[in-house]
Structure formats: C-alpha cells, structure tokens
Structure 1
Amino acid sequence: MNSGEGIRGVRGRASTWLRNDVGLLIGALGLSLVGVVLVWSATRASSGGSAALKQLVALAVGMGCAAAVTRLDVRTVRALAPVVYVLAVLGLAAVVTPLGSTVNGSRSWIRLPGGMSLQPSEFMKVALAVGLAMLLAERAERGLRQRHRDVVLAWVVAGIPVLLVLAQPDLGSALVLVAMSVVIIAAAGAPWLWTAAVLVAGAGAVAAAFLTPVLSGYQRNRLRAFLDPTLDPQGIGYQTRQVRIAIGSGGLGGQGLFAGRQTQGGFIPFQESDFVFSVAGEELGFLGAAGVVLLIGFIVVRCLVVARRADAFGRLVAIGVAVWLGVQAFENVGMNLGLMPVTGLPLPFVSSGGSSLIASWVAVGLVGNVARASGRVRRTVPRQATG
C-alpha cells in the first residue's frame, strides 16, 4: 500500500468517527469521570480506592462496548435485536432462580467469579429499546399508524420483562421499562387510546404494588417513609434525612471535595450507589450538583437530536434511550432531594455499579450508531440525486 492509500485510509477512519455524535461521547465521558471521583469520595474512608478502581474498569469495558456497537452496521443491529432481547429475558429469568442473590430485599443480581455481580435488568433496558424499535419500525418507516395487533404484540414484548423485574421485586426498574415502552410505542404511531389505557393500568399497578405484598417489606417501608419519614426513623427515614442534611449543608460552592462531613463520616448508607448525588450536593455545592444535572440533560437532548435526524428504527432507539436516561436520572435526583420515593435506581453514568455504567455506555454506542448511519445517508443521497 502506498502512502496516498494510507493517508486516505486514515482520513476515512477519521471521517467515520466524526460522523458520530462527538458531543454525546464527550458528555458521557465527562459525566462518567465525575462519577468515578464521587464514588471515590463516598468510599475512600471505608474501602480506599477499590470502589473507584472498579468503576474505572467498568468505564473502560463500557467504552469498549460502545465503540464496538457504534461500528456495527445498522442492519446488523436490527437483525441482532431479537437475540439480544431473548438473552436479556433469560438473564431476568435466571435472577429468580438459585443463581440470583438478594440485596436490600430485591433479588436482582447474579454473582460472578472474582467478587463481581451482574444486574440483568440494566441490560434489559438496552434490549427493550432495540427490540421494540425493530418490531415497530417497518410501519413507522412508511408513515402508517400501527395496527392493534402490532401494539398488542409490542406490549407483550414489553410486558414479559416488566413482570420478571417486578418478580424480583424491583419497582424502579419496572417503571423505567414501562416509561420506555409507552413512549416508543406512542412514537411509532400507536392509537392514542392504547397509550391512555396503559397509563391508567400503570397507575393501578403502582397502587397495587404499594397496597399488596407484591413488594418486599423493605421496599414498602421505603415508599411509606417517603410519605412519612418518622415511620422508620432508624432505617430509610434516617437515610433520607442524612441525605437532605448533606445536600443542604453544601451551600452554593460546597464544603470541598473529600471534605463533606456527612460523606466522609459515613453517615449515609449506600451513598456511592443510590445517593451519590448527595456527594455532589455536599462537597461540590449547588453549582457542582447543577453541573451534574446539566450534563445528564445534555446527554438526553443529544439523544433526541439524533432521533430527529434518523430513520424510523434509529429514531425509536434514540427516543427509548433518551426516556430511559431521563426518567432514571429524574427518579434518582428526586429521591435524593426528597421529592420522589426511594426505589434504588442508580444515577446513569455516575452511581457505583458496573452493570449500570456498562449498560449506559452501550446505550451511548447505540445512539452513536444511529448518528453514524444518519450521517452516511445524508452524504449518500445528494450524490445519488446528481448521478
């Protein structure tokens, strides 16, 4: 190969990467690195740097997965969607068998060798986004309203993982899956009566989960403590009170990284996962916490921008990812501020947890794949028109 061909090859590879959404990649990387620092601050007194190191390893794995997904041909992504969905459902089913392990009343993890664990519900969010998009894209591409049988099939596809996640039980992840399904199916052109009926049914299901023994006692106490923290003053009531103290004491500029009294004193259980936002609020203050929220909002907006430029399949995938990240971030920040009940949902890209971080980066890879495919189409169409 001569030097000219080598230069053209390098330029071709650079052009391929420039067709990706660079802003999305930078935003996700910046937020992930902030998460590593916050996890380190929350755990350095108890475990040194081991939790932060695990987070860095998960970040490297997630970025590698995102790069691989971005490079796939979009037709390959569509073809693999059923396989990914089936594997994710099998993972959820395995959780409720003896392979699963219980933490805080929820049987949501599968223990792996080397002290690692896998949370299949996180990867189910990826599988549901591509699965529903593959199922509904054909009629959406032609601008046709979805038939009732198509919508029924889509809700069966969505309902299976929702029921399996509720069986763990994990109400937070189930709500995220339902929100993704409602928006994807509605965006694909489903009759509006279906959307209204599902929203009513969802509200009834949440009420039933609250009033019946579907949830574990630990999770019901979390929901009740949201309404009245004095019901569990030594448990979740204590935890949420300490979180609010931490965030309130941060002021405008914070107490300084690694200097938060509540965080460094270990007063907040599971702070590196469920309540990592309180580390930002206490040590980085309102400005730092607002920066975290703005980064998340930027990522969600970039997903929607990519969706606007994409074909039907890509649009539904990107919308699903935007809803997933947006709803999950809203719930996590809301439970830190005392505005939402504690459900145990991680803050995307920030909370400690390899499964959540890797799945979030796979989602970035999917949106990057959609952006790359959209860029290729925009470059090809004018050339065809002038030929």
Structure 2
Amino acid sequence: MTYLEYNVKTVPSGWRKVLALNWPLVLLLSSVACIGFLMLYSVAGGSWTPWAEPQAKRYVLGLAVMILAGMVPIWFWRNMALVFYALAFLLLVLVELFGSVGMGAQRWIDLGFMRLQPSELMKISLVVFLAAYYDWLPLSRTSRPLWVALPIIIILAPTALTLMQPDLGTALLLMIAGGLMMFLAGVHWAYFATVISAGIGGIYAVFQSRGTDWQLLKDYQFRRIDTFLDPSSDPLGAGYHITQAKIAMGSGGWTGRGFMQGTQSRLNFLPEKHTDFIFNTLAEEFGFVGGISLLALYVLILFFCITAALQNRDRFSSLLILGIGLTFFLFYAVNMSMVMGLAPVVGVPLPLVSYGGSAMLVLMLAFGLVQSAHVHRPR
C-alpha cells in the first residue's frame, strides 16, 4: 500500500470521495474555462461585463454541480436515466408550445433568472439513457432488429423536435451521438452501412427539394450550404460570416496580434464573436500557437475520458464515459471545423469557451457523471 492509498483509506468517506475525483480532469476543464473568460473579456473591449463575469459565475456554479454529481453513486444516475430523458423530452415539447424566440429560432424556455435551452440537456440525457439501455440489454440481443429499433426511436424523437425549432446543428449532433452510442454498445456494422446509404440518399433528396413545395430545409439553411461551398459568391451577404472568420484566423499568423489587439473582433467585423466564432478571436490574438494550445487541452480532456472508460469494469459507466467524451469531441470538432470553413455553419458553440449558460451548466453536469463513474468504479 502506498502512502497516498493509506491516507485515502484513513480519511472519512466523504473526503475520500473528494480525493478520489479525477483532479487532473478538473484542472484541464478549469484551464479551458479560463481561456474562455479571457476571450470574453477581450471581445467586450477590456470589460468583465456583459459576458466574462456572468460566464465565470456560471463556471463556479457548474464546478460545484460537477463535484456534487461526482459524490453521488453511479447506480443512482443509472436508475434515473429514464427520468432524465423523459424530462428533457418534455422540455423540448414545451419549447414548441411556449418557448421564447431569439434570432428567428424557438429554442429556449424563459425561467426568469436564465433562459434554458432544453436541447442542450437532451444531448447528455440521450447518452445517459442509451448507456443505461445497453447496460440492461443482454449482449446477445444487441443487434436483433427489435432491440435496434427501440434506440433508433429514442434518438429520432428528440432529433425531430430539435429540427422543428429549427436547430439543425444540435439535431445532427443528437443523431451522431446516438449512433456512436449504438456502435460502442456493439450493434452490428450492417445497420450503420444501411444508415450511411440512407443518409447519402437523404442528402440527395434535400438538394432535390430546394425550391419545391416539399422543401426539406429552411432557406437560410440552404444559404449556409451555399456559403460553405463557395463563400466568395456572396461576401457581403450569406458569405460574410465565414469570410470575416477566415480573415481573423489568417491575420493571427503564428503568434497572433496580441491580447486585445485583434482588429476583426475589436472593430466588430467578426460576427457572433462571443459565441460561435470566439475561436477566431483566439486565433487572431494568439495565432496558431494559441489555437493549437486550446486544441491540445481539448484532446487531453478526451484522452482522460477514454482512459477512465477503459479502466472501468462496469458496462454502464464505461459506455457513459465514452459517450460523454465523444459528445464533447463532437462539440469542439464541429465548431472548429465550422469557423475554419471546413464544415457548414450550423451554430454549435465552442465548449467552455463560448458564452452560454445552458451549455456550460449541462456540460459540467456531464463531467460530473464522468467523475461519479470514476469515483465509484469497481476496484
């Protein structure tokens, strides 16, 4: 028995759980969040308001939520999986009925002290529910048609509600995250080949529907696709966002213009500089070095999740950690691809860096579940 193991075993149970938390993961999350505070301070012109200060308060609250969630036994989260999914689904329905509208989309429920975006909660609830489902389901039934159809319905129902808001980016993330959970659980590859083939056919149908009575996407979503394919076709209209984003990234060079010296963000050429395009502000002020440093922190967080999942001998915990880790990967991969012109602009925020209350708190709760699986893993 090592000195550390001896001391952990001699402290009270509550403190033992605190010491058993994955503190390197906490440090990595805090480092990324501090980069976000710094960037929000910069885009506000050297002021903690209106973005940096509220974001910092939300992170402190989120950190407390993560630690408290990590103290709760993992079996509790497994047993509550259906409740969480049902609650998130109900909130999505309420958004359709009573949701508040912002920037042409109906995605939020106004709680008075904050605006809750239920689709953010569904991203994590879906992963938890599918992890519990495949933990309950015997491995011999994983690829049987009946038991494959049920998770498909579980995935597509909230995806459809999210698409109606409309929120194409989150809808795609829900579908991809759900598909990854099915793949991790061991569903046969033939199902995925079928889905990919159907997806190719769906993309063809989307383009064929343009301008018809049965058009499958909104006009602004088609414009985003056009902009992705050829931003220069409308540099002052639909292509303005990505054009300015590329200018900001390119002007940063290797080491950047310096903190609070970015012209694109300071002169308001860069759109949504505190949310979707905050990575471009970072790249302009700190250059390639700053951008790759943030990416390295994200990769380390993902590495810790994968390592924790592989070391955990509980099927639910392992699936849960991998699902949350890969969902986190999708968040930053899609955002970075989007703002660099490698993917269409779909409105996905940069995790822990972009301004946003719901996304911050839900993500910290998700990592609280990772901590719970780590603390209460079978020894």
Q: Note whether the superposition's TM-score is higher than 0.5.
A: yes
Per-residue Cα deviation, 1:30-74 (whole angstroms, up to 9, x for no partner): 1011111112212337x7622111211221221122122111111
**Stretch deviating more after TM superposition (218-227 or 267-276):** 218-227
Q: Residue in 1 aligned with 2:108?
A: 109
Task: Select the residue among 157, 167, 189 that pairs with 1:170.
Answer: 167
Distance 1:39 1:215, change over 3 A: farther
Deviation of 1:14 (Å)? 3.8
Any unmatched runs of 5+ in structure 1? Answer: 1-6, 379-387
Distance 1:48 1:216, change over 3 A: farther
Per-residue Cα deviation, 1:178-198 (whole angstroms, up to 9, x for no partner): 111111111112122122222
- Please state if 1:347 is matched with 2:350: yes
Deviation of 1:16 (Å)? 1.5
Q: Residue in 1 aligned with 2:373?
A: 370
Deviation of 1:83 (Å)? 0.6
Taking the aligned partners of 2:294 and 2:90, their CA distance within structure 1 comes to 34
Q: Residue in 2 aligned with 1:129?
A: 127
Taking the aligned partners of 2:289 and 2:145, their CA distance within structure 1 comes to 48
Q: Residue in 2 aligned with 1:184?
A: 181
2:258–2:285 Cα contact (<8 Å) kept = yes
**Stretch deviating more after TM superposition (18-27 or 228-237):** 228-237
Report the AA paired with residue 135 of structure 1: Y
Taking the aligned partners of 1:20 and 1:206, their CA distance within structure 2 comes to 44
Q: Percent identity?
A: 33
- Please state if 1:196 is matched with 2:198: no
Deviation of 1:227 (Å)? 0.7
Distance 1:236 1:296, change over 3 A: farther
Deviation of 1:117 (Å)? 1.5
SS class of match (1:96): helix
Q: Residue in 2 aligned with 1:16?
A: 17
2:21–2:371 Cα contact (<8 Å) kept = yes
Q: Residue in 1 aligned with 2:239?
A: 237
- Please state if 1:214 is matched with 2:216: yes
Taking the aligned partners of 1:42 and 1:358, their CA distance within structure 2 comes to 22
Deviation of 1:94 (Å)? 1.6
SS class of match (2:108): strand
SS class of match (2:80): helix
Taking the aligned partners of 2:297 and 2:242, their CA distance within structure 1 comes to 24
1:93–1:164 Cα contact (<8 Å) kept = yes
Per-residue Cα deviation, 1:256-302 (whole angstroms, up to 9, x for no partner): 11111111111112111010100110011111111111111111111
1:182–1:198 Cα contact (<8 Å) kept = no
1:169–1:215 Cα contact (<8 Å) kept = no
Taking the aligned partners of 2:85 and 2:281, their CA distance within structure 1 comes to 35
Report the AA paired with residue 353 of structure 1: G
Give TM-score scaled by structure 2 length. Answer: 0.90
Q: Residue in 1 aligned with 2:76?
A: 76
Per-residue Cα deviation, 1:307-352 (whole angstroms, up to 9, x for no partner): 1122110111111112211112111101111111100000111111
SS class of match (1:109): strand
Taking the aligned partners of 1:163 and 1:341, their CA distance within structure 2 comes to 20
- Please state if 1:35 is matched with 2:33: no
1:210–1:223 Cα contact (<8 Å) kept = no
Deviation of 1:203 (Å)? 4.0
Deviation of 1:9 (Å)? 7.3
Report the AA paired with residue 53 of structure 2: L
Taking the aligned partners of 2:203 and 2:30, their CA distance within structure 1 comes to 35
Report the AA paired with residue 49 of structure 1: T
Q: Residue in 1 aligned with 2:322?
A: 319
Q: Residue in 2 aligned with 1:382?
A: none
Taking the aligned partners of 2:125 and 2:42, their CA distance within structure 1 comes to 33
Taking the aligned partners of 1:113 and 1:186, their CA distance within structure 2 comes to 40
1:95–1:107 Cα contact (<8 Å) kept = yes
Q: Residue in 2 aligned with 1:246?
A: 248
Task: Select the residue among 272, 295, 298 that pairs with 1:296.
Answer: 298
Report the AA paired with residue 349 of structure 1: L
- Please state if 1:160 is matched with 2:137: no
Q: Residue in 2 aligned with 1:224?
A: 226
Distance 1:236 1:273, change over 3 A: farther
Deviation of 1:8 (Å)? 7.9
Deviation of 1:208 (Å)? 4.3
The RMSD of aligned alpha carbons is 2.1
2:99–2:106 Cα contact (<8 Å) kept = no
SS class of match (1:258): coil
Q: Residue in 1 aligned with 2:359?
A: 356
Taking the aligned partners of 2:208 and 2:157, their CA distance within structure 1 comes to 22
Per-residue Cα deviation, 1:114-135 (whole angstroms, up to 9, x for no partner): 4x32111111111001100111
Report the AA paired with residue 55 of structure 1: Q
Q: Residue in 1 aligned with 2:98?
A: 98
Distance 1:170 1:206, change over 3 A: farther
Taking the aligned partners of 1:240 and 1:80, their CA distance within structure 2 comes to 42
Taking the aligned partners of 2:67 and 2:37, their CA distance within structure 1 comes to 20
Taking the aligned partners of 1:106 and 1:324, their CA distance within structure 2 comes to 23
